[in-house]
Amino acid sequence: MDEWDREAGELRAEVLRLRQRIAKLLALLRLLVALVRSVGASLECQRLPEGTDKARLLRAVDHSRPFLPIRVALRAVGLSASRFGAWRHSRAVCELDDRGSCPKLSPQSLTVGEIRVIREMACAEEFRHVPTGTLAMLAQRMGRAFVSAQTWYRLIQRNGWRRPRKRVHPSRPRHGIRASKPNELWHVDTTIIRLLDGTKVYLHAIIDNFSRRILAWRISDHFEVASTAILLGEAAASSIGAGEPPKLFTDGGVENFNGSVDALIASGLIKRVLAQTDVTFSNSMIEAWWRVLKHNWLFLNKLDSIATVRRLAAFYIEQHNSVMPHAAFSGQTPDEMYFGTGSEVSAKLEAGREEARKRRIESNRATGCGACVAKEAAA
């Protein structure tokens, strides 16, 4: 009797351990089911191109068959009975786990040899100077791989092949020359604006490098050789401070190289520097401002006359100079940078951001859902 009691006690302990293990497994299973339902993981409308993935899933289904009906197991993973049968059949007759699909079922697929040739040529140093599209045609001319350029691009991207085309020569300067004070560097340029009837309007302007302020501008319905000299006179008359004459960055246009401008240069009022492209002393600042003016404002309106362009340009230049803050100036406007009247703007904005953060935290802490309120009340 004592022996039976001892064995019964051991059996009860074993049953208890099994129940605890089953409870843990059920809890883990519930978590996995909740995760699958949350992210929508299913094999419906999904492909498993690798044979190893298919074999792993088939083994899992086979292991579950003593405990679950086959239809329940297939429904759990979103696998149809016909697809399951096709996979089992392909596993029985084809062991090409390294292939995305059976070559007999997809006879138009590239062969292993063709893929190897594409990889070797795409990654070869001797072809680093050949663009990928041209390389695909070159492979055909060489008789090595008769494959379209689109397939080359797709294989290179899908397999992560890296072509040996790392750039060695440095890129063009990302930032041009920068002034340290107002009226140190000026940029002058002319842009053309086309009206609705096809006629052209010429917009001339001078921008200060330090403040990005438009110092002078004018619009005309014809190209004026004297435009630069007129603008320089207006900018010099309204400029602040005294000291070294500003350096003027210009392109090689005739409006910037003529007797009137040469006279201003000779008088010592300004110094002229010929701007170039893709170098630090380029005229990119005013050229970039032309794009901003056109695409942010002018092209949003119907440009039917020179009067319309003049009115729109006057509005935007006034907004640019005195209203719109510049991120490069910590929130100051070009006028404030040029005249030195915005030194307190950055501190005010930082104080405002800090105050907004405090109010945001207080507001969020004071607002809670029903669960938060109930939890605080219970505490």
The DSSP symbol for 173 reads P
Q: Which of 189-193, 209-213, 241-245, 360-364 has the lowest mean pLDDT?
A: 241-245
204 and 146 in a common domain:
no
User: 207 has which bridge partners?
Assistant: 187, 214
270 and 193 in a common domain:
yes
Distance of CA 298 to the CA centre of its chain: 26
Look at the chain and report how many structural domains it folds into: 3
DSSP string, 92-160: HH---TTSSS-TTT-TTSPPHHHHHHHHHHHT-GGGTTS-HHHHHHHHHHTTS----HHHHHHHHHHHT
Residue 373 belongs to some domain of the structure: no
Residue 281 belongs to some domain of the structure: yes
Residue 285 belongs to some domain of the structure: yes
Distance CA 115, CA 31 (A): 42
Return the pLDDT at 25.
80
200-208 and 185-194 beta bridge pairing? antiparallel
pLDDT in tens, 188-223: 999 999 999 999 999 999 999 999 999 999 999 988
Residue 247 belongs to a domain with what CATH number? Answer: 3.30.420.10
The DSSP symbol for 171 reads P
Q: Which of 188, 186, 231, 181 is nearest to 337 (CA)?
A: 181
255 and 198 in a common domain:
yes
300 and 223 in a common domain:
yes
203 and 245 in a common domain:
yes
Distance of CA 42 to the CA centre of its chain: 31
Return the pLDDT at 324.
94
Structural domain of 56: 48-97
Show which of 278, 303, 324 is a domain's final residue: 324
Residue 244 belongs to some domain of the structure: yes
Report yes or no on whether pTM surpasses 0.85.
no
228 and 286 in a common domain:
yes
Residue 284 belongs to some domain of the structure: yes
pLDDT in tens, 266-284: 676 677 666 554 444 567 8
The DSSP symbol for 43 reads S
251 and 151 in a common domain:
no
